[in-house]
């Protein structure tokens, strides 16, 4: 069974640009969550989708958005990139709606210059 797949693995963008990251969950998993990992703030929850609906959102500005498709694949978008958005963006998938193991992908390393 394939794990969580995130693309691309690495990305370099310029301030002011926008970026879209993709996540394919484990087959059969309907919940997809996104996290940002930085040396300064650690791992922080961005948002979670279940059956194409955003169920929870972390404390991030509106420049961070996401969506989930009918096949459970998810994308997150960051608009008007800032230097501080440089981070490892991680996607996790879960089989159930709540309180179940979340399996992480390798992440997308975003560098904003």
Positions that interact with other proteins (CB under 8 A): 4, 31, 33, 35, 38-45, 48, 50, 55-56, 58, 84, 90, 92, 94, 96-107
Q: From the CB of 70, what's the least distance to other proteins, in Å?
A: 19
Radius of gyration over every alpha carbon of the chain, rounded to an integer in angstroms: 13
Q: From the CB of 33, what's the least distance to other proteins, in Å?
A: 6
Question: Rounded to an integer, what distance in angstroms lies between the CA atom of residue 91 and that of residue 30?
Answer: 13
Cβ neighbors of 11 (< 8 A, separation 6 or more) are 19, 21, 108, 109, 110, 111
Q: From the CB of 82, what's the least distance to other proteins, in Å?
A: 12
Q: From the CB of 39, what's the least distance to other proteins, in Å?
A: 4
Closer residue to other proteins in complex, CB, 58/65: 58
Q: For residue 46, give the H/E element and its range.
A: strand 42-50
Closer residue to other proteins in complex, CB, 77/97: 97
Closer residue to other proteins in complex, CB, 14/99: 99
- 10 Å CB burial of residue 5 (0-12, 13-18, 19+) is middle
């Amino acid at each position: 069974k394939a794990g969580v797949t995130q693309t691309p693995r690495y990305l370099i963008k310029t301030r002011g640009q926008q970026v879209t990251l993709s996540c394919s969950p484990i087959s059969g998993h309907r919940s997809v969550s996104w996290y940002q990992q930085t040396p300064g703030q650690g791992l922080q929850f961005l948002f979670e989708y279940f059956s194409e609906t955003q169920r929870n959102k972390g404390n991030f500005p509106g420049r961070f958005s996401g969506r989930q498709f009918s096949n459970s694949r998810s994308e997150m978008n960051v608009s008007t990139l800032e230097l501080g958005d440089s981070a490892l963006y991680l996607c996790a998938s879960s089989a159930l709606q709540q309180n179940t193991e979340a399996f992480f992908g390798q992440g997308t390393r975003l560098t904003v210059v």
